[in-house]
């Protein structure tokens, strides 16, 4: 592998890792809040449309949008943390099942096809 190709590959890998850090921290916080949901919901797709979101393509699903809009602990903080309980009573994806009930059942609160 040429030096230039190697340098570009390393740069791309570092960028991808950096943009995923927030999501990984959010996953850890989610699993800490809901330890029983770890297997099915401690993933990027709990809050994002794509299972492996990238910086340029990290659209939030309905649950992720509610989390961002209604559950940020301190909007002025550089690193966002979330009060997950603030949106437990909502039905973010509109499938008729409350977020907390989906989390307990292991279904995705941001995907109406999962209930």
Closest CA to 101 of 86, 89, 110: 89
Q: Which long-range contacts does 21-27 make (Cβ < 8 Å, 24+ apart)?
A: 22/79, 22/80, 23/47, 23/48, 23/53, 23/58, 25/79, 26/82
| Nearest distance, CB of residue 51 and Ca ion, angstroms | 19
Minimum distance, C-beta of residue 85 to Ca ion, in the bound complex (Å)? 16
Tokens of 36: 């029983």
d(Cα 100, Cα 78) in Å, to the nearest integer? 27
Residues 83-102 binding Ca ion (CB under 5 A) are 91, 93, 95, 97
Length of the chain, please?
A: 115
> 88 vs 95, which CB is nearer to Ca ion?
95
Minimum CB distance to Ca ion, residue 111 (Å):
8
Closer to Ca ion by Cβ: residue 66 or 91: 91
Q: Between 27 and 99, whose beta carbon lies closer to Ca ion?
A: 99
Interaction of residue 111 with Ca ion, rule CB under 5 A: no
Instruction: Give min distance, CB of 69 to Ca ion, in A.
Output: 16
Question: Which residues of this protein are in contact with Ca ion, per CB under 5 A?
Answer: 91, 93, 95, 97
């Amino acid at each position: 592998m040429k030096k230039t190709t190697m340098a570009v590959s390393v740069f791309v890998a570092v960028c991808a890792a950096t943009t995923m850090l927030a999501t990984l921290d959010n996953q850890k916080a989610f699993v800490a809040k809901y330890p029983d949901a770890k297997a099915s919901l401690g993933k990027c797709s709990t809050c994002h449309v794509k299972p492996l979101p990238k910086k340029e393509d990290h659209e939030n699903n309905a649950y992720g949008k509610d989390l961002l809009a209604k559950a940020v602990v301190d909007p002025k903080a550089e690193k966002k943390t979330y009060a997950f309980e603030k949106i437990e009573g909502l039905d973010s994806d509109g499938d008729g099942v409350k977020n907390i009930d989906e989390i307990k059942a292991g279904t995705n609160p941001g995907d109406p096809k999962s209930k």
